[in-house]
Amino acid sequence: MLVYKESKKTFVEQVISNTIEDRIYEDFYRETGHHTSQSELRSWQNSMQYVQNVVNHPDIPDDCTIAIEYTLPQTSKRIDVIIAGKNKKYENSMVIIELKQWDKAESTNQDGIVSTFVGGALRNVAHPSYQAWSYAEYLHDFNETVEKDKIGLYPCTYLHNYKNGTVLSSSLYKAYVNKAPIFYRHDSLLLRDFIKNNVTYGDTDDLMYRVDYGRIRPSKQLADSLAAMLKGNQEFVLLDQQKVVYEHAIHLLNKAENNKKQVYIIKGGPGTGKSVVAINLLVEVTKRGLLTQYVTKNSAPRAVYASKLTGVMTKTKYNNLFKGSGSYIDTPKDQFDMLIVDEAHRLNEKSGMFSNLGENQIKEIINSSKCAVFFIDENQKVTFKDIGRVETIQKFAKSLGASIETTELESQFRCNGSDGYLAWLDNVLQIRDTANSSMDLPDYDFKVVNSPEELHQLIKQKNRLNNKSRMVAGYCWNWVSKKTPSLYDIKISDYEAQWNLSDDGMQWIIKKDSVDQVGCIHTCQGLELDYVGVIIGDDLRYRDGQIQTDPYMRAKTDQSLKGWKKQLKTDEEGTLKECDEIIKNTYRTLMTRGMKGCYIYCTDENLEKYFKRMVKSPDIIYKPIEG
């Protein structure tokens, strides 16, 4: 998505006439449907004056393109300024400029990380040159037009308020400054030279339009890239906060090697890149020759990863890297240098098939490692057994004498990078109140359809592209086909379907032809799809302006709420509240598996009408696809 695009000549005129911030604001509202803050308006007004002073020169062609606030594909990250045209060889070229209003920064002992005052506090952030370079790398990886049209990308950063660049240009950051030069307050002439050397002639090909509307490469999915990552290849460029969190985890690992136990809690919603950071940590710690393991309670991700690594590494080596959360009952203290716990909200108290082994999985993991890293989203608790909460981790960490740090990953790398979709979903499911009361997200494909047949047709159509679209449903139908394969599990009027086959197990999400079956929360949590179709069953309905949940509508074969009826006798209010949380969290999780789109069908007619009303254009009727 691109907010602003004009010729240099028009851009300069708008800045000089003091109308540029209004124009950007109008374009921003038109593209996003949202207002922005006064501080961002002032930022645009201030920074664009400096950019205008640099480009307002005959050596910068009047017909080159100035683009402002270009959103990187499938993220919520925006490139501040792009200047597009042709270089001295008449080749397509783009200068990417990361603007900063900093006037001071300090170095850190972490790769590509500096400390500066932002957001009202002193914080560790990505070095501006790393940020600009990583944005260019990401754009090259995901936008097919950039490679197809052989567009050269030339990142740099401009700190127009910063006088002394000794810290940021020091040898600590030389590798990134070489990739993306850094220009300070008094370097406007040097920045102008950098631009004119790379954009010598005008934008005769309308490059920004072609990039903005160009084909986006198929989404990289962690499971597909795992083998290459474990071989040391950089498959995912860590952006901004991901980089900060990754480097701080390595920093804590180094501290832990000096006999000071560390616990690092990283909070983040669906698609914030928790698993990508986790796997990158696994690769780096392993490369250092230290003892580490990647831990998940849910076996679905591990089963998918194992299938992707078949023939790449031995089963023994795989089993030494990827473990279930109940593997540390008898592990000696500090045996592992780092344990990396993904989906930590799914941790249980007891371990074993009958939940009768060990004391507490959280305590055992912290005890077993010098440094324990927990990636957690408390809104993805989906069973009564899930005990992974931030305060619980902190309690055990304190009791074991560990230093504790907590941070949060916020930016979106799923749902087409739309933080707005997640906020809207939380609002519509009445999990939490947000400002997103209506769906106005042109980059994310969300539909409410009229029948399960239509839903399944849509998903099958999308799945023909790359086998990365699947049907899922709330667990409201008994799994009768497990014992009698000829029977259908899910029956809604004339629609019939089976839960994912027993033979596919936790690999259902990648098995060929499994699009014919329907998955559940247990076989898709922690994994991602391009498009997901969600059947919302009778455990969720809409009455009298409220989303209501009904645990009685859950299937008997579902173990998520096991024991709730017994607990109801002693604590009715608390039990129903917990059931309500789990059912809502289940649908929130299912509805955020799709990186590009989510389609839903509701068995409750009132709920269907409610969802349609909450979408931007509720009067649209989605017709079934023929064939």
Work out the burial of residue 546: count CB atoms within 10 Å of its CB; fewer than 13 is exposed, 13-18 middle, 19 or more buried. Answer: exposed
Count of residues for the chain?
627
Q: What contacts 15, CB < 8 A, 6 or more positions away?
A: 48, 49, 51, 52
What gap in Å lies between CA 585 and CA 426, rounded to an integer?
9
For CA atoms 161, 164, 169, 173, the dihedral sign is negative
Q: What angle separates helix 299-308 from helix 222-230, to the nearest 10 degrees?
A: 60
Q: What contacts 613, CB < 8 A, 6 or more positions away?
A: none
Q: How far, in whole angstroms, is CA 103 from its chain's centroid?
A: 31
- pLDDT at position 305: 82
Q: Are 222 and 98 in contact (CB under 8 A)?
A: no
126: enclosing H helix or E strand:
strand 121-126
- Concatenated DSSP letters for 174-231? HHHHHHS-EE-TT-HHHHHHHHHHH--B--TT-HHHHHHTSPBPPPP-HHHHHHHHHT
For CA atoms 245, 247, 248, 254, the dihedral sign is positive
Tokens of 474: 């709330």
Amino acid 523 reads T
- pLDDT at position 77: 86
Scan for tokens 């936008």, then name that residue: 143
Task: Name 4's bridge partners.
Answer: 68
- pLDDT at position 623: 35
Condensed to tens digits (0 to 9), the pLDDT of residues 147-193 reads 888 899 999 999 999 998 889 999 999 999 999 999 999 999 999 99
Q: Are 153 and 139 in contact (CB under 8 A)?
A: yes
Using alpha carbons only, give the angle 244, 25, 68 rounded to the nearest 5 degrees. Answer: 55
Tokens of 276: 């990508």
Residue 417 per-residue DSSP state: G
Residue 278 per-residue DSSP state: H
Q: Please tell me whether residue 112 adopts helix, strand or coil conformation.
A: coil
Query: 471 — phi, psi (to 5°)?
Result: -95, 140
What gap in Å lies between CA 190 and CA 180, rounded to an integer?
13
pLDDT mean by block of 10 residues, the chain; 627 residues: 89 91 78 68 83 96 94 84 96 96 94 92 95 94 85 97 91 96 96 97 92 69 71 78 95 91 93 86 92 91 81 82 94 96 94 89 97 94 93 97 93 60 88 66 83 97 92 95 93 95 75 89 85 97 95 93 92 95 95 92 96 67 35
Pairing assessment for the beta strands 445-448 and 594-602 based on DSSP bridges: parallel
Pick from 415, 598, 593, 421: which is nearest to 33 by CA? 421
Pairing assessment for the beta strands 113-118 and 106-107 based on DSSP bridges: antiparallel
- pLDDT at position 22: 81
Pick from 132, 139, 130: which is nearest to 74 by CA? 139
Would you tell me how many other CB atoms lie within 10 Å of the CB of residue 333?
11
Q: Are 436 and 294 in contact (CB under 8 A)?
A: no
Using alpha carbons only, give the angle 379, 339, 303 rounded to the nearest 5 degrees. Answer: 70
What gap in Å lies between CA 538 and CA 552, rounded to an integer?
9
